[in-house]
Structure formats: C-alpha cells, structure tokens
Amino acid sequence: VRIALDAMGGDNAPSDPVAGAVQAARELDLAVALVGPRDIVATELARHRANGLSIDVIDAPDVIAMGEHPVQAVRSRPNASMNVAIRLVRDGSADGFVSAGNTGAAMVAALFGLGRVKGVERPALATIFPTLKGHCLILDVGANADCRAEHLFQFAIMGESYARLVLGHPRPVVGLLSNGEEESKGNKLVQDAHPLLRQSSLNFAGNVEGKDIPRGLVDVVVCDGFVGNVLVKLAEGIGELTFSLMREEIGRSPVGVIGALLLRPALRRIRRRVDYQEYGGAPLLGVRGTVIVAHGRSGPRAIRSALRVARQAALAKLPEAFDFRHPSLDGLGSPAPTEAPLETAT
C-alpha cells in the first residue's frame, strides 16, 4: 500500500508531515509518497534516518495555504501539492491521500480530481468522536451545510461501511441526530430523513440527542454538515475550557498542585482517550479513492495515525463497498455529472 502525503499541509509543514511519514514507513507496512517542492521536502527528509524506508519524494512546485479560498486555489494551481497527490491516487500510483492542510481545499481537490462514487450526491467528511464506550463516527462534519434527506441516507450508508470495514465494528448502530428521541422530533430535514433510515437495511437506532454522542449510544451519528461542524468544534472548545479551568483552579493552592502531580498519570490516560491525534484524521467519504483530512495542528504522531487509517481504508476498498440500495429510493441511479462544488469547511 502506498499513500500520497501532502508534505506541505499543516501548521508545522513540512517538518511534521515528513517526521510522521518516517515514523509510519518505519513502523507500519506501507510506502509513502511525499508530495511537495522537491528541494524543500528532500532537505527535510535528509534530517531523518530514512535509508531503506519506502519513502519517495514527488515534486509539486506549488502550495495551497491555510487561509486560501478552496475552489479558487485548487483550480488555479494544478501543480499544488494537493492536486499532484490526488493525481497519484487517480492514476493508481497511490492508494490513498492524506493532508493536514486547508481542509476545504483538500476536499475540493479530491472531489475535482477523483469524482464522486456512483450513488453519492454529496461526499461527506466524517470524524471520530471519543465516547464513554470508545468512539463513534460522526458525519457530515463540514462538507455540506445544507442537506436533503437522501444525502443523510447516503451519509448513513457510507458511515456504516466505514465503521464496519475500517473501524472494526461488526454491526454498527446508526443514529440520526435530533433535538429529541421521539420519531416526531427534529427539524424538517430530520423528519424527512427518519423514515428513509428506518426503512433501510441499516441497524438504525432512531433519533439520538446531543448527550447520547459522548454516552456512546450509537456507533455512527448522521447529521448535516452545519450541525456536525458546530458540534465538533464545540467539543474542541469544551476540551480547551476544561483544561484551562483546571489549570486555573488547581494553581490556586499548593495542595492542588501536589494533587495534580499525583493525578498526572491518570490525566494523561484520559487525554489519550480523547485525543484526536490517536484517531488519525477525518475520512472524506464518497469520492472515488481514499482521502483522509488531518487536523491542521497534527504533529508527527497524528500524521502517522492518519497514514495508518488511510492504509486500512485503502485495503477495505470502501468506495466499492457502499451499497446504496433502498426500497423507496433509486439509490444507484443518482447521476454524478457536474462538479458540484463542495461547500467547504475550515
């Protein structure tokens, strides 16, 4: 398995992506194509003992920066690292793509370069969320701000396949995010989507509420990309708040500081259980190829995790595994003619 890694993506590129690639190539059974300006990337790679590892550098002279407008940047710079890396996937010389760069641009580059899977109207970005029982998959978390019920059905199918084939849940339970458990609850979108999911072959648990996510009630949570984005970022903010409050309140007394020292191993274990770096980034599901978007702040360990996940997803041949058949929908009939630009997340 060979994964194309955007060497210029992320807050600390190229050093963290290159370091993560070296770790991954050393510890996991995979090859990495580092894509970026040849000189810069080769110089960075030379700092590591990478002899004998399956890593090569693929030249891409241009770079797309974090703040750029996704569609414009992707269109105007065909030789940006993301575009070159995606072409490796399209041409079959790489089995997957990983980037910690501009999320919107990575999604657009993947959509334009690879196209959509048959039956998918809107690809979805999925993220892994820690729960009391382990973790669950939430999608969409930012690719599509406005959705229709059929989109949510397609997200459910893709999320279920990913949870089963990549995350290893034997029979994933799928929930529809709503403002109440009863079938009558929800906004119009959720009320329209509920019967579609209920009549499908999915292991559907019905509506779930926000608090059911951390409780681990279901393995896959389906929502539109606006709600998904807001909630994932809220969780990030709550994590920050918790640690800030602890630092502030604990620092107020020497006894507290001693207590915190004694608790350090436990706190470290908790952090590991909720740390995004372990989970390895968000898969973009519904494009024809394996695409993993990592957090902009990804360090080497997070990049390594993203490469590991990309490898697993590539081996699972996800796009071919999706089964969109539905008694009341022509799931496979949706045409995928034009390049409908994704509404993009940050």
Piece of the chain touching its own copies by CB under 8 A; list 14-22, 53-61, 124-132, 284-292: 124-132
Q: Is 131 in the site for its own copies (CB under 8 A)?
A: yes
Q: In what order do the strands lie in the sheet with 291-293?
A: 55-59, 31-36, 2-6, 96-99, 291-293, 282-285, 124-131, 134-139, 220-222, 174-177, 204-208
Please identify, using beta-carbon distances, which residue of 276 and 322 lies nearer to its own copies: 276
3-state secondary structure of 336: coil
Candidate list 46, 65, 245, 340; residue touching its own copies; CB under 8 A:
245
Minimum Å distance from CB 346 to its own copies? Answer: 5
- Which residues have C-beta within 8 Å of that of residue 43, sequence separation ≥ 6? none
Which lies closer to its own copies via its Cβ, residue 108 or residue 114?
108
In the bound complex, what is the minimum distance in angstroms from residue 6's beta carbon to its own copies?
21
Angstrom distance (rounded) from CA 205 to CA 258: 45
- Tell me: does residue 10 bind its own copies (CB under 8 A): no
DSSP 102: -
Q: Which is nearer to its own copies, 247 or 325 (CB)?
A: 247
42 near its own copies, judged by CB under 8 A: no
Q: Binding residue for its own copies (CB under 8 A) from 27, 210, 332, 339?
A: 210
Least separation in angstroms between CB 193 and its own copies:
13
Q: How far is the CB of 188 from its own copies (least distance, A)?
A: 5
Euclidean distance between CA atoms 57 and 21, whole angstroms: 11
Binding-site size, its own copies (CB under 8 A): 66
For 255, other C-beta atoms within 10 Å of its C-beta total 9
Question: Is residue 97 exposed (0-12), middle (13-18) or buried (19+ Cβ within 10 Å)?
Answer: buried
- Select 178 or 277, whichever has its Cβ closest to its own copies: 178
Query: What would the x/- binding string for its own copies be over residues 164 to 203, using CB under 8 A?
Result: -------------xxxxx---xxxx-x-------------
270 binds its own copies (CB under 8 A): yes
Supply angle C-alpha 114, 119, 124, rounded to 5: 60
- Give the dihedral sign, CA 89/90/91/95: positive
Angle separating helix axes 15-27 and 300-316, nearest 10 degrees: 50
Contact between 281 and 98 under an 8 Å Cβ cutoff? The reply is yes
The two three-digit tokens of residue 91, written as one number: 């041409």
Q: What tokens appear for 192 in the block?
A: 């329209």
In this structure, are residues 156 and 288 in contact, taking their beta carbons and an 8 Å threshold? no
Question: Closer CB to its own copies, residue 135 or residue 304?
Answer: 135
Among 49, 51, 52, 211, binds its own copies (CB under 8 A): 211
Binding site for its own copies (CB under 8 A): 130-132, 142, 145-146, 177-181, 185-188, 190, 209-215, 223-227, 229-238, 240-242, 244-246, 249-250, 252-253, 255-256, 258-267, 269-270, 273-274, 345-346
